Chain A
């Protein structure tokens, strides 16, 4: 088994491992990886999201166990200090030696700090790692507590602007200082830069162009920047983002060939001057260039894997695409091909719209009428199409200005024509090098069924994400070509999505499933559309699950949750988790009487397991006699509103969280929705009720409640997002009424609030506009709809046990009073459980 050692666990180093694991010959090699940072490789491209609440773990590129699962030895916080080429070994900072057959240098780069006098002063930072971001965050906090708030970013490139936005997010006044006369000088021309500058200045950033810094002022701590032209800028903090410098120290030390201005020289196989050593990513000097983008780094990783495993045909292309598309401080910016091309044989078409903040430019070859490159600022929605036209050298339309002005004939045709007309080898995702052919074949050969499958199996769209719309179009078009349904219709019986059905049912006033199936559907229906329509009617008419039992999902039909052996569980409602000793004793008595396995749930209530179908009505009769009602644990409806004990008892409590939780649970109980809904109320920011893991969470703060929405635990945990701050009880309820009703109306079947918000264009900001600022002019409607539902709550178990017809469905047999003789229970601690499945 050959030993491959990788130095560096950044994005490219990780990509190398990922590609290696995927290669056929992986089992012939043993991979050992060294990373000097204290954590696994993370997504540096989206580093600024760290301030937006993403944790280091969220940014991580792999799971904790990925390396182990793939038998890769990962050494983090371990620095390699020496390479011994002769012995083919590397030595770490502790002097331990590791031998290799192949060595891969993916050491990346560090931030370049220009030699300006004073850069060593306190308050000067770089923007590169999570540790840098943490240091900046703490310093910003300290400044604010001292009443200071001016921060500068040195460098108006891509990363500098990211850094400036991050600094602004921390609550500081951000100044961008750039030596060149324009922003993003490598990607944008003057017109593009002017537009971008205007847009971000509107957001409160200050831009200083054409400024060369002479020195940093202040004794020990930074106080300002002094420019060469004699002017000054008073600042309390400086973040340097003036480019990158390859981390080639160990390469130089062992005498590998390096460039004059740094970088390890590699050929098109990524090999360095030593036959057993490869270099990839930002440390590699290829074609006399360092490439500071992730896409070429990934290509290099791919080439190195191929070369090491014997596929020597895979080499690095000669010209490397430096196209970029991103959202900078809320502004879309893209640049592709030769964006700044000037000259006699080039025609340039420019569209500038100051009112809308849009600048577009395309460069066209005079001779061949091909697209050479272009710039988009303010609206980059055409980027994917333009990039494909450029990259595949497609012939331009008769009026090339249509490419940036849009098709002005009213026929809705796309610029690009049909995505399926693209050549098979057109590269759709440049971060992951995925071609059109790979995407379409994944659907054609049956290995993938939808967009989600395609993304997870080809990795297309997992890098910058810019190509996702085109990937979706390709998936849809391929599915369509195979005669498969592509839209979000709920099932084969209805050509509508949930929202459309909701509107139809409401408009027509339908009350029966068959009416809807006869008029708008076909066939006999199925287990998908029946419960969806039951839920919609329940949401419109405040129906209980007893309304039309045969279309209810099976748990709703029997008003209980079916468990592993076909018996059911029973959960009475305990609002807010508050219960008297008497009621607890009553629950104990019932559990004992029916010999039920008993457990406390995560939602602060009691769950009984092992009830036979025929026992359900008897158990409920007892529960109702003791004053309980249905907990709707079986339904896609409000489950619980969890609470901490709050200010009535807790010495830290800011408000009465239990009282409020009970009020909310009582208000929304029985509310049927696209999926289950959970709530939480905490009495202070210690958040003992874990309210931010819920669909709605309310937390008491100084001056009111903070309202969070759209969180969940489960398979994809997500923290709820802040909707409103410091609001009173009435406002919480008003916003919740609107939010829940809006969700119920518009979500897809079985879509939790978090996923719904994820898909909602404009996200939480848009939702604030709708719910708080009444952008759609529907809040009154939403509130009155909710009022109807809240006012007509009925306990469906009370309803059921009073109705003989309903009771019939709880007999196991139609023609016998016997019970299911197939049930076998075995002892478990002091209780029982169903016999395990074989």
Chain B
């Protein structure tokens, strides 16, 4: 099962080689998440409207390897933006990918930018 994880690698904004257009801002619910498909990847995108910030991470939860993180609830822990998996409420930092309530493998994080009402996610090719 672990091979699912191998295609997801945290990408920093400096390393981005391709900005993929994932959809319109209005396709994403405020203060919530949605899933997009990029090639063979499932990426969860979160719109933190309250602080005007966007985050993206792998859709697969490293706990049980199910494609569910985009369906989780967003929030923060001491100011760190986080996502809680809908399966067992495992929480992960959307800044670093770190598991906040245990020692699961960190999730891969991707940069997001908004241009002219379009949402882009950055990948390294």
Contacts and interface: CB of A to CB of B under 8 A. Distances in A.
A527 B73 contact: yes
Interface residues of A, number: 36
A550 interface: yes
B75 A526 contact: yes
B42 interface: yes
Interface in A185-239: none
A549 B29 CA distance: 9
B34 interface: yes
A287 B86 CA distance: 63
Interface in A791-820: 809, 812-816, 818, 820
A365 interface: no
Contacts of A527: 72-73, 75, 84, 89, 91
B31 A550 contact: yes
A838 B51 CA distance: 39
Contacts of B4: 822
Contact of B37 (A524, A529, A809, A818): A818
Given A526-B82, A550-B29, A822 B76 contact: no
Interface of B: 1, 4, 22-23, 27-32, 34-37, 42, 45, 48, 50-51, 60, 64-68, 71-79, 81-82, 84, 86-87, 89, 91
A558 B60 CA distance: 18
A566 B27 contact: no
Contacts of A818: 37
A115 interface: no
Contacts of B66: 564-566, 822
Contacts of B1: 838
20 contacts: A514-B31, A514-B50, A524-B75, A525-B31, A525-B75, A530-B73, A530-B75, A551-B73, A554-B71, A562-B68, A566-B67, A812-B35, A812-B67, A814-B22, A815-B22, A815-B27, A815-B37, A816-B37, A822-B67, A838-B65
Given A524-B48, A550-B30, A562-B87, A814 B23 contact: yes
A557 interface: yes
Nearest to A820: B67
Interface in A502-521: 514, 517
A352 B105 CA distance: 66
A553 interface: yes
B67 A554 contact: no
B68 A524 contact: no
Given A554-B71, A566-B87, A822 B31 contact: no
Contacts of A517: 50
B42 A523 contact: no
Nearest to B49: A514
A815 B4 CA distance: 21
Contact of B77 (A526, A549, A562, A816): A526
Contacts of A812: 35, 67
A815 B27 CA distance: 9
B35 A813 contact: yes
Contact of B29 (A514, A526, A809): A809
A728 interface: no
B73 A526 contact: yes
A555 B87 CA distance: 10
Given A529-B75, A562-B87, 16 more contacts: A514-B50, A523-B76, A524-B31, A525-B75, A527-B72, A550-B32, A550-B74, A551-B73, A553-B73, A554-B73, A562-B71, A565-B66, A613-B71, A814-B28, A820-B42, A838-B65
B51 to A, nearest CB: 7
Interface of A: 492-493, 514, 517, 523-527, 529-531, 549-551, 553-555, 557-558, 562, 564-566, 613, 809, 812-816, 818, 820, 822, 837-838
Nearest to B60: A822
A513 to B, nearest CB: 8
- Interface centre among A557, A558, A812, A818, by most chain B C-beta atoms within 10 angstroms, is A812
A554 B64 CA distance: 17
Contact of A557 (B22, B37, B48, B71): B71
Contacts of A565: 66
Contacts of B79: 523
A820 B32 CA distance: 20
A813 B91 CA distance: 22
A146 to B, nearest CB: 61
A566 B72 CA distance: 11
A492 B77 contact: yes
Contacts of A531: 73
Contacts of B48: 524
A130 B110 CA distance: 66
A452 to B, nearest CB: 18
- Interface centre among B48, B65, B78, by most chain A C-beta atoms within 10 angstroms, is B65
A716 B42 CA distance: 40
A526 B75 CA distance: 4
A814 B35 contact: yes
A626 B74 CA distance: 37
B68 to A, nearest CB: 5
Contacts of A816: 36-37
A554 B42 contact: no
A554 B37 contact: no
Given A492-B78, A562-B87, A814-B22, A524 B35 contact: no
A815 B36 contact: yes
A558 B35 CA distance: 14
A410 B36 CA distance: 63
A517 B48 CA distance: 14
Contacts of A558: 71
A543 B71 CA distance: 22
A524 B32 contact: no
A524 B81 contact: yes
B27 A814 contact: yes
Contacts of B35: 812-814
A818 B79 CA distance: 35
A293 B19 CA distance: 76
A813 B86 contact: no
